[in-house]
Amino acid sequence: MGLDPCMLHLYSKTYIIHSKEINMVSYKELGLVNSKDLFKKAITGGYAIPAYNFNNMEQLQAIIQACVETKSPVILQVSSGARKYANQTMLRYMAQGAVQYAKELGYPIPIVLHLDHGDSFELCKDCIDFGFSSVMIDGSAHPYEENIALTRKVVEYAHSRPDYVTVEGELGVLAGIEDAVSHEETHYTKPEDVEDFVKRTGVDSLAISIGTSHGATKFKPSQCTRTPEGILIPPPLRFDILEEVEKRLPGFPIVLHGASSVPVELVKIINENGGALKDAVGIPEDQLRKAAKSAVCKINIDSDGRLAMTAAIRKEFKEHPEVFDPRKYLGPARDALKELYKRKNIEVLGSAGKA
Ligand code: G3H
Ligand code: 13P
Ligand code: ZN
């Protein structure tokens, strides 16, 4: 049995589809917000909203603690891998729990629940029906016209909801690994395409490719220079492309993916405690700070959080081999993540105090 199309505009209903009970819910009922107003304020205020990925309770606690303590709005990102790992029903209640948790901590920050790198209409629709307040449809691997058609379809559905779900599109391809999809090379966004793309799709924000990349090894050593100590220095971001995009789309929200900085000290702790991260290199924080002051109003960070947690866990295991209570190593990992994100909000994104 399919859904009656006229019912798509209703929410908070239970439907039986293929013998499964599906609860459609509005993000507003979960206490979440979409990203529209947050982006408007971020562009005029010269800062970026942190978009942190989560897959489990400790990551979510750390994100909420960090953002409440710094009074920062936050975008909680869920990839399709996270959805498979954690279960979508669990994620919905975790996001609702995060809203209550922030209140309990004493400062109710605005929280967006966002699908990261959605790759199909069906996945985006599912997330929207399940209470996400924002989705990304990443059609960047498709030819231009197909990307437009797919993105447009998601926008039509998301914007037709009475609660208005915001949509992020992507133009240009980032190098690196996203879930099962890996791209060998960067394809920078062509500024001459952005107006046409935004106009024809109706997206609320646009992810562009200016030299950031996913994962902890963002560049090959051959693309970098080295300090006398042997530390890799990556090629600079293409601010010329960003400036051209801003000229063509004045005041339009731009998103930067692949924005982890891969701190040298975290990589060192990991490698000194049994890890094997070779040639790890990220985006220098001063470049991200510069980007956050421009039309870039959402900055995606996941790998740095993974590194912070892994460094803390490896250290605990090395120093306390007798420990077998997960709280004894997940607790310090959660604290390390919280401290990292507090610092990002204050020193890199400029989002502290903006909630
Ligand atoms: O851009 C990708 C994010 O870091 C999510 O990673 O697909 O491994 O969950 P994942
Ligand atoms: P990093 O791998 O640089 O943290 O990027 C995360 C990201 O872009 C999530 O969409
Ligand atoms: Zn990404």
Rounded mean pLDDT for each run of 10 residues along the chain, 355 residues in total: 43 61 85 98 98 98 98 98 95 96 98 98 96 97 96 98 96 71 76 97 98 95 92 94 98 98 98 97 98 98 98 98 98 98 98 98
Other Cβ atoms less than 10 A from the Cβ of 340: the count is 24
Residues 6+ apart with CB under 8 A from 343: none
pLDDT at position 328 is: 98
Residues 6+ apart with CB under 8 A from 175: 183, 184, 185, 186, 213, 214, 218
What residues are paired with 217 via a beta bridge? 281
201: closest CA among 246, 248, 163, 156?
Answer: 156
pLDDT at position 182 is: 60
Question: Residue 121 corresponds to which tokens in the numbers above?
Answer: 């209409």
Burial category of 123 from C-beta neighbours within 10 Å (exposed 0-12, middle 13-18, buried 19 and up): middle
User: Which mutation among 119, 136, 219, 260 tests ligand 2's pocket best, with the greatest number of atoms within 8 A of CB?
Assistant: 260
pLDDT at position 8 is: 42
Which phi and psi (to 5°) does residue 138 adopt? Answer: -100, 95
CA distance 144 to 156: 18
331: closest CA among 110, 148, 61, 40?
Answer: 61
Write out the residues surrounding ion ligand 3, Cβ under 5 A.
257, 300
CA distance 76 to 98: 10
pLDDT at position 69 is: 98
CB of residue 86 inside a 6 A radius of ligand 1? no
Phi-psi sector, 136: left (phi>0), alpha (psi -120 to 50), beta: beta
pLDDT at position 121 is: 98
Residue nearest to atom 7 of ligand 1 (CA): 179
* Nearest atom of ligand 1 to the alpha carbon of 214: 1
Ligand nearest the Cα atom of residue 114: 2
Question: Taking the complete model, does pTM exceed 0.85, yes or no?
Answer: yes
